[in-house]
Amino acid sequence: MSRFIKIVIGVVSIILPQYTFSQNNTDKLKEQFIDEVTITAERRELTSMQIPNAVSVITDDMLKNEPSPDLRDISHYVPNFYIQESGLKLSTPIYVRGVGSVSGTPSVGLYIDGAPVFDKNSFIFDLYDIEQIEILKGPQSTLYGRNSINGLINIKSAKPGDKLSVNALIGCGLYGAIRGMAGINIPQIGIWRSKLLFNYNRTDGYFRNIYNNSLPGASENFNGRYLGTLSFKRGSELLISAEYIASNDGGYTYGAIDSLKVNPYKVNYNSDAWYKRDIFRTHANISKTFRNLKISNVFAYSYTTDDQLTDTDYTMYKVFENRKKSYGNLFSNEFNIQSEYNKRISWSAGAFLFYKSLLNNYTATFGSDKALLMNIDLDQVVYRNDLTTMGAALYGQVVFNNLWKGATLSAGLRYEHEKSKLVYHDNILMMGSWIENWHTQNQSSNFDALLPKISLLQSFDNTSLYATVSKGYKAGGYNIIANEMSTQVINLSYNSESLWNYEIGAKYISPNNRFKANLSLFMLNWKDQQIFVMGMMGPSIENAGDARNYGVDGDIFANLLNLNSQNATHAINAKVGAGYTHATYYNNDNEEHIGNRIVMAPDFTANIGIDYTLKLNNRAYTAITFSNSVNSLGRQYFDEANTLTQNPYTLWNMNLSVTAKSWVVSLWGKNIMDKHYFCYEFKSPVGSKKPEYLNSGQSGAPRNLGVTISYKFK
């Protein structure tokens, strides 16, 4: 018998008797239940067992283990869900079951308290005072439309309370990391409850630019938020919010792969670089509940500005740099009406409208080493891209409850129409002379889609089985810039993409609520995929081919031990999640890419977490929690040719928290073993002339340690 098997048997022989003891000795046991939380991402209040989709829920308690949480951290907890670590807040690709996008509109929808967020440059922000985050996999286009082709992230903020309370948090870590948060819940005034929240964090980052001794990975962020609720008589409620987010980041931390293998956190490029972003968003959600009916309306507005300077060749040579300034407005309004869910036949219907404007001013400036990039004697190009998009949708869903004992059949359909209008021109400076309107384009496009979904769910006492067929969709659009300077003939448009998803799954929760498991198998057919292409002047989007993805994902939650003695309570909780995705092109404009793996998407993800909590029966209500988590990512490919790869790797994170009355002190560690890996790789635009830069990329985050202290006053 191997040593490993002996160790496993020994551990089981220790834990199992105690688990059995805790099950049978009810006089000494204080049960710890796995909460079956309410999920609203289906636009109703349902439990996970009632939803015919793979769904994961991230609670506020789980986020407390993260030193400065944002959406990139939740990929540690959700199988087959991956958010790229590298890059600026301008572009953060999200991949679910192999479907995602590096540039352009996201493939995973984001809603915050019922209000949509359309653009990836608004996806990364500090998560605090969150009730929960719901992640639905597979197409959610029937209910949410254009940006949810293969998933949805639904964030619910914690609502204001009725009494005065103050929360405060301060933390610090290596690499100059500082975080502070304060929240004030204002005492209730009549029917009005409200709270104010402020959050600040900064870091010097892990990287140093040896050319000018700067810190390209530095980041500073400020967030201020107001939330208010007015609860009227007879089932009416108004939820309002206003939020301002400001961030100032350094530039991309890209370097030559061979150089980063020797010095992982040193880059070498000659231009200044930054990304500055300001976001203001507000929304009002009013609802009215009748005896058998609920009506709601959500109006939302957001304004975003971006200012980015990039050394686009990422070398010490004076090749070219880009400066981009963007100004965006988004208005949206959604009306929904639905019947009571527990009737034999229930239904919901809605209408969604939006108007979006985006102005991009983009300047490319070429230096004395521009011959490393091109043979054209070009000095500067100034682009102006003015894009307006309007959309309207009608949707409905019917649910037949108890079709036979325990069976629920749901069918939905959405019609979506979108119109985009582009006004574009660029001016070029060549050999000291300006040529105005070298390229001009004034055109509009219409996109229409019918998006059906049908599901069958069979419920037993503690088990649900389901099968779902659904269609996902993402509208086409226009690229920001023209990459072809040698001709005046251009086409900036790209077409819609769509996919069909076929999924079956099973969900189980034990009678004592101490064990929960989910498993799903899926297959999808992805048509007219929008892919990211790095051109001479910058990135663009093209429809390149068709892909087929299939795989499996699942997770297990278990309360392994919950033992209550005279002086203390001991609890051990475990979470295991894993997912596998096989995603390949079966059709591609480049025949050599047929059969290759989809870029960016890891072929498997896995996470294992074990928490031990000791609660002392003393006057300070002292609790000590020790958390361990291990996260693994499978092989990734970063280009369609599958020449740039990252082998599988594993990261180990730890957290030790001590709670006493209103105080919580946490010691945390990320990537404890200091594993080096590449989170992004690409082919450099100057690689043909300078082969040492051909394969470039970014190193992943090194070991980081820190402490967080929080206090709550009531």
Is residue 191 domain-shared with residue 181, that is, in the same domain? Answer: yes
Same structural domain, 278 and 340: yes
Residue 457's pLDDT band (cuts 50, 70, 90): very high
pLDDT band at 35 (very low <50, low <70, confident <90, very high): low
Helix (H) or strand (E) holding 237: strand 236-250
Q: Are 447 and 496 in contact (CB under 8 A)?
A: yes
Rounded-to-integer distance, Cα 197 and Cα 193, Å: 14
Helix (H/G/I), strand (E/B), else coil: 565: coil
Between 31 and 96, name the one with better pLDDT: 96
Spatial contact of 313 and 534, defined as CB atoms under 8 Å apart: no
Residue 458 one-letter amino acid: Q
pLDDT grade for 8, boundaries at 50, 70 and 90: very low
Categorise residue 204: left if φ over 0, alpha if ψ from -120 to 50, beta otherwise: alpha
CA dist 524 and 532 (Å) reads 21
* Same domain assignment for residues 431 and 324: yes
Q: Measured between alpha carbons, how far is residue 116 from residues 130, 206, 281, 490 in Å?
A: 17, 33, 10, 33
With residue 438 as reference, give the H or E element that holds it.
Answer: strand 433-459
Q: Is residue 15 within a helix (H) or strand (E), and if so which, with residue range? A: helix 3-24
The rounded radius of gyration (Å) of the Cα atoms in the chain is: 26
* pLDDT tens, residue by residue, 410-422: 999 999 999 999 9
**Which two tokens mark 248?**
């100032």
Write down the pLDDT at residue 60.
80
Which residues make beta-bridge pairs with 301?
282, 331
- Look up residue 528 and give its two tokens: 């007219």
pLDDT at 32: 44
Q: What is the DSSP string of 344-371?
A: SEEEEEEEEEEEEEEEEEEEEEE-TTGG
What does the alpha-carbon distance between residue 366 and residue 376 come to, in Å, rounded to a whole number?
11
Q: Record the tokens describing residue 710, joined without a space.
A: 């929080």
Give CA separation, 195 vs 125, 190, 476, in Å.
19, 15, 40
8-state DSSP, 487: -
Q: Each residue of 242-286: pLDDT tens digit?
A: 999 999 999 899 999 999 999 999 999 998 899 999 999 999 999
In this structure, the answer to whether residues 182 and 39 fall within a common structural domain is: yes
Backbone angles phi, psi at 698, to 5 degrees: -135, 135
DSSP 701: P
Total residues belonging to the chain:
714
pLDDT confidence of residue 14: 33
Tell me how far apart the alpha carbons of residues 64 and 52 are, in angstroms, rounded to a whole number. Answer: 29
Would you state the pLDDT for residue 302?
A: 97
Structural domain count, the chain: 2
Q: How many CA atoms lie within 13 A of 171 on its CB side?
A: 32
pLDDT for residue 24:
37
Please check whether residues 13 and 160 belong to one and the same domain.
Answer: no
Q: What angle do CA 260, 629, 113 make, to 5 degrees?
A: 95
Q: How far apart are the first and last CA of the chain?
A: 57
pLDDT of residue 5: 34
pTM for the full predicted model = 0.91
> Does 48 lie in the same domain as 19?
no
- As a whole number, mean pLDDT of residues 458-477 equals 95
State whether 162 and 15 are in the same domain.
no
Instruction: Find the Cα–Cα–Cα–Cα dihedral 483, 485, 490, 496, rounded to 10°.
Output: 0
| Residue 11 shares a structural domain with residue 35 | no
Confidence at residue 36, expressed as pLDDT on a 0 to 100 scale: 65
List the helix and strand counts (H, then E) for the chain: 4, 41
Residue in this structure with the two tokens 């206003």, named with its chain if needed: 242
Q: What is the CATH number of the domain that holds 81?
A: 2.40.170.20
Cα–Cα distance, 692 to 258 (Å, whole number): 8
460/507 Cα distance (integer angstroms): 10
User: Are 17 and 39 in a shared domain?
Assistant: no
Q: Which domain holds residue 676?
A: 31-713
Same domain, 23 and 151: no
What is the rounded average pLDDT for all residues in the chain? 89
Q: What does the block give as tokens for 84?
A: 């790229």
Which parts of 226-280 fold into alpha helices (H)?
257-262
pLDDT digits (tens, 9 = 90+) for 149-189: 999 999 999 999 999 999 999 999 999 999 999 999 999 99
Sign of CA dihedral 134, 249, 196, 243: negative
Check whether 97 has a pLDDT greater than 60: yes
Q: Structure tokens of 4?
A: 């490993």
Residues 485 and 466 both lie in one domain: yes
* 12 has a pLDDT exceeding 60: no
Nearest to 529 by CA among 450, 599, 592, 443: 599
Residue 324, pLDDT above cutoff 80: yes
Q: Is the separation of the CB atoms in 576 and 608 below 8 Å?
A: yes
What was the pLDDT predicted at 714?
Answer: 67
Its sign, for the CA torsion 582, 586, 587, 591, is positive
Cα–Cα nearest to 132, from 227, 193, 64: 64
Tell me: pLDDT of 29 over 50: no
In the structure, what pLDDT confidence band is assigned to residue 89 with cuts at 50, 70 and 90? confident
Domain shared by 365 and 496, yes or no: yes
Between 488 and 612, name the one with better pLDDT: 612
